[in-house]
Amino acid sequence: MLDSLVRKVMNKVVDTTYHFAQPAIELTRGEMIKLIKNTKFTSMRVWSTKLNGARMRRMEQTRDKLPNSSPGVVKRRRTLARQNMWVVWSETNSDWRTIRLRTVDKVKIGQQFYIVK
């Protein structure tokens, strides 16, 4: 017979193992970009690379079409499109940030990981 303390510890080990046992879904670069652009008002953790080559991990949200369609961004739209960038709300920095979509390695939405093939 297991006492309650041992049972609690074993349940946590089983829960933790099960929680991290979900396999990541592999996506192509195009599918990853569509996933990021179409996931609205949901927090997602994004692993990417900055312009200076440093690794980045942030909690971010895409918010409908703003500011990607706002006047300040529309003037720079060709530049953003050329660099394949997307404007997101960064919960980590509490500010609007741009991410380079071609440098995104993986995304976590809820408990599900998505990685680029």
Domains located in the chain, CATH noted? 24-116 (2.30.30)
| pLDDT surpasses 50 at 103 | yes
Question: What is the pTM assigned to this prediction?
Answer: 0.67
pLDDT computed for residue 48 by the predictor: 92
- Report residue 45 CA to chain centroid gap: 3
More confident residue, 20 or 7: 7
| pLDDT surpasses 70 at 74 | no
Specify the DSSP element, H or E, that contains 75: helix 71-75
| pLDDT surpasses 70 at 19 | no
Tell me what the mean pLDDT of segment 79-99 comes to. 80
